């Protein structure tokens, strides 16, 4: 079949080439953006006198009918059409005839693909942001209910100091908030219209790019034609933002895996989000958090993939860039479902506060409180207080109890220091609440952090970037 670009060719392209060259199998999902872009382009051509009113109307009608066919699943995407741009253009020509052939005036597939793909990326940037906010909202809902739920805070996965569960959850939210902001920054940086720059050098027509930018919801047109058709850093921004988000999600997922094990038993995942073993009937596996943890790997791969494709490409457009889409589609799809399922897993899991508390009483978590008490009440240098506390810990170890279970008498025997009120200080909850510095774990400080995040979420929800893309 003759190609739209077939004029100079004497021979038809081989099937092998058609299959190798085509992007239609995956870029067909850009159809809506392609039609939107074509409609605005036609409007612009009308305004600069390239199209007659009647031609313009035919084109718009034709594009709308193609849009309908695609929506109804009646449109045939053909490999010979190569990509979404030529599929729609050739369908338009078949539908309306000669006027359809004028649509590609002052336009190249290079600026067309740059437009479609950028609209897709910006659109999903907004969709992902809505889901991140939703996830933070869910986590805060759990955090609010658990600001007095004592658990062991860890470093090196070893019991360190008592914290409350809500505080741990707020820590997750803090990183997710930065992820949200990273997406937002990328949106702002990339919200510029590529259309109208032609193949690489601009066009001899008076393309009204300002009008098209406005109509399509972009802040302004891009600056330089060459840069516009050859750059894919807006897609790399997306892949990086997703990688960072999924890296954070993988850490959350890892904690869910750990916490749902018999060794921790801090939570139980709902049956709806757990799986069984085909051989061991007793098993309930955390496949969902494991997959969430694993999905980050393929997202990092997609980022590395596109970075590698782009590396060393001369300006301007090169066909290598066609390799930009599948990784982005994959990462976006993965992110959308990951955010949905993580939210559900968190909402449906059961929490065991009694087990968390029990574990917070193992491992002398309040030893630092004893050292701090010695500093404050006995005016000892911290290093000295640390040494003495170490001796008390050794004593408790020998006795087979936690430091919080020792009384003043016993501590006096080891340290020869009268420490009135130390018993209360070594209490796990008191220790948690003693960490009342800004950003600390005390119930009050945790609530303060929750309030700040909630206020931020409400502001974001009210002014949330709505995209026209």
Task: Point out the residues that are catalytic.
Answer: 156, 277
Q: Which is nearer to ligand ARG, 124 or 317 (CB)?
A: 317
Q: Interacting stretch for ligand ARG, rule CB under 6 A, among 105-113, 358-366, 437-445, 448-456?
A: 105-113
Tokens of 251: 């850490």
Query: Three-state SS for 374?
Result: helix
How many alpha carbons fall within 13 Å on the CB side of residue 280?
6
Q: Which is nearer to ligand ARG, 318 or 458 (CB)?
A: 318
Q: Is 18 in the site for ligand ARG (CB under 6 A)?
A: no
Q: Interacting stretch for ligand ARG, rule CB under 6 A, among 94-102, 251-259, 302-310, 316-324?
A: 316-324
Q: Interacting stretch for ligand ARG, rule CB under 6 A, among 106-114, 144-152, 187-195, 330-338?
A: 106-114
Tokens of 303: 């980022």
Quote the least distance from Cβ 219 to ligand ARG, whole Å.
24
Restricted to residues 44-83, the positions that interact with ligand ARG (CB under 6 A) are 83
Number of residues lying near ligand ARG (CB under 6 A): 10
Of positions 317, 361, 385, 431, contacts ligand ARG by CB under 6 A: 317
Rounded Cα distance between 457 and 459, Å, is 5
Tokens of 211: 């009008």
Of positions 38, 67, 90, 110, contacts ligand ARG by CB under 6 A: 110
Q: Interacting stretch for ligand ARG, rule CB under 6 A, among 124-132, 315-323, 386-394, 453-461?
A: 315-323
Quote the least distance from Cβ 194 to ligand ARG, whole Å.
12
What is the per-residue DSSP string for 143-208?
Answer: HHTTTT-EEEEEETTEEEEEEEHHHHHHHHHHHHHHHHHHHHHHHHHH-EE-TTSTTTT--SS---
Quote the least distance from Cβ 231 to ligand ARG, whole Å.
12
Q: Which is nearer to ligand ARG, 30 or 403 (CB)?
A: 30
Rounded Cα distance between 324 and 120, Å, is 12
Of positions 161, 207, 228, 322, contacts ligand ARG by CB under 6 A: 322
What is the per-residue DSSP string for 101-147?
Answer: GGTTTT--HHHHHHHHHHHHHHHHHHHHHHHHHHHHHHHHHHHHTTT
Quote the least distance from Cβ 11 to ligand ARG, whole Å.
18
Of positions 149, 296, 321, 441, contacts ligand ARG by CB under 6 A: 321
Q: Which is nearer to ligand ARG, 27 or 179 (CB)?
A: 27
Nearest by Cα to 131 from 166, 167, 183: 183
Quote the least distance from Cβ 20 to ligand ARG, whole Å.
12
Restricted to residues 215-274, the positions that interact with ligand ARG (CB under 6 A) are none
Q: Interacting stretch for ligand ARG, rule CB under 6 A, among 12-20, 206-214, 317-325, 365-373?
A: 317-325
Q: Which is nearer to ligand ARG, 107 or 182 (CB)?
A: 107
Residue bearing tokens 């990688």: 243
Quote the least distance from Cβ 83 to ligand ARG, whole Å.
4
Q: Which is nearer to ligand ARG, 203 or 285 (CB)?
A: 203
Helix axes 109-144, 165-190, angle to 10 degrees: 160
Rounded Cα distance between 284 and 288, Å, is 11
Quote the least distance from Cβ 193 to ligand ARG, whole Å.
17
CB atoms within 10 A of CB 200: 17
Distances (CA, A) of 44 to 62, 202, 330: 17, 15, 34
Distances (CA, A) of 408 to 289, 388, 397, 413: 45, 14, 17, 9
Of positions 109, 129, 295, 445, contacts ligand ARG by CB under 6 A: 109
Strand blocks (E) in 232-312? 267-268
Residue 405: DSSP 8-state: G
Q: Which is nearer to ligand ARG, 41 or 159 (CB)?
A: 41
Q: Is 443 in the site for ligand ARG (CB under 6 A)?
A: no
Q: Interacting stretch for ligand ARG, rule CB under 6 A, among 35-43, 186-194, 244-252, 319-327?
A: 319-327
Rounded Cα distance between 371 and 378, Å, is 10
Quote the least distance from Cβ 326 to ligand ARG, whole Å.
10
Q: Which is nearer to ligand ARG, 109 or 293 (CB)?
A: 109
Query: Three-state SS for 342?
Result: helix
- Dihedral (C-alpha) 386, 392, 393, 399: value to the nearest 10 degrees? 180
Quote the least distance from Cβ 235 to ligand ARG, whole Å.
11
- Dihedral (C-alpha) 182, 331, 212, 203: value to the nearest 10 degrees? 110
Q: Which is nearer to ligand ARG, 113 or 143 (CB)?
A: 113
Nearest by Cα to 230 from 198, 205, 207: 198
By CB under 6 A, name the binding residues for ligand ARG. Answer: 23, 27, 83, 109-110, 113, 317, 319, 321-322
């Amino acid at each position: 079949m003759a190609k739209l670009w077939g004029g100079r060719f004497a021979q038809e392209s081989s099937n092998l080439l058609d299959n190798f060259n085509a992007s239609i199998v995956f870029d067909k999902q850009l159809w809506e953006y392609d039609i939107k872009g074509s409609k605005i382009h036609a409007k612009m051509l009308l305004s600069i006198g390239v199209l007659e009113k009647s031609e313009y109307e035919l084109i718009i009608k034709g594009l709308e009918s193609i849009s309908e066919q695609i929506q109804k699943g009646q449109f045939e995407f053909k490999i010979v059409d190569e990509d979404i741009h030529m599929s729609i253009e050739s369908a338009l020509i078949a539908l309306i005839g000669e006027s359809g052939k004028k649509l590609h005036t002052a336009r190249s597939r290079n600026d067309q693909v740059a437009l479609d793909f950028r609209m897709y990326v910006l659109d999903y940037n907004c969709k992902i942001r809505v889901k991140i906010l939703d996830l933070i909202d869910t986590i805060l809902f759990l955090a609010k209910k658990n600001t007095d739920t004592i658990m062991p805070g860890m470093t090196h996965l070893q019991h360190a100091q008592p914290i409350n569960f809500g505080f741990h959850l707020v820590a997750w939210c803090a990183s997710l908030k930065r992820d949200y902001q990273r997406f937002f920054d990328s949106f702002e940086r990339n919200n510029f219209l590529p259309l109208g720059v032609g193949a690489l050098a601009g066009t001899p027509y008076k393309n009204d790019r300002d009008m098209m930018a406005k109509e399509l919801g972009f802040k302004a047109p891009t600056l330089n034609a060459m840069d516009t058709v050859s750059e894919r850093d807006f897609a790399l921004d997306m892949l990086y933002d997703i990688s960072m988000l999924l890296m954070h999600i993988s850490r959350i997922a890892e904690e869910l895996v750990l916490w749902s094990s018999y060794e921790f038993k801090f939570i139980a995942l709902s049956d709806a989000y757990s799986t069984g073993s085909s051989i061991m009937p007793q098993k309930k596996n955390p496949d969902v958090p494991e997959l969430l943890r694993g999905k980050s790997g393929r997202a990092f791969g997609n980022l590395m993939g596109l970075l590698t494709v782009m590396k060393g490409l001369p300006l301007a457009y090169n066909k290598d860039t066609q390799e930009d889409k599948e990784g982005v589609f994959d990462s976006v799809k993965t992110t959308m479902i990951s955010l949905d399922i993580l939210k559900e897993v968190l909402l449906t899991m059961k929490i065991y506060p009694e087990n968390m508390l029990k574990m917070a009483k193992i491992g002398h978590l309040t030893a630092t409180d004893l050292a701090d008490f010695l500093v404050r009440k006995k005016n000892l240098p911290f290093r000295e207080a640390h040494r003495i506390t170490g001796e008390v810990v050794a004593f408790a170890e020998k006795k087979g109890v936690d430091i919080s279970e020792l009384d003043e008498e016993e501590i006096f025997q080891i340290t020869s220091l009268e420490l009135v009120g130390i018993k209360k200080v070594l209490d796990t909850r008191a220790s948690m609440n003693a960490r009342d510095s800004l950003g600390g774990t005390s119930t009050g400080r945790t609530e303060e952090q929750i309030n700040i995040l909630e206020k931020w979420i409400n502001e974001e929800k009210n002014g949330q970037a709505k995209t026209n893309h």
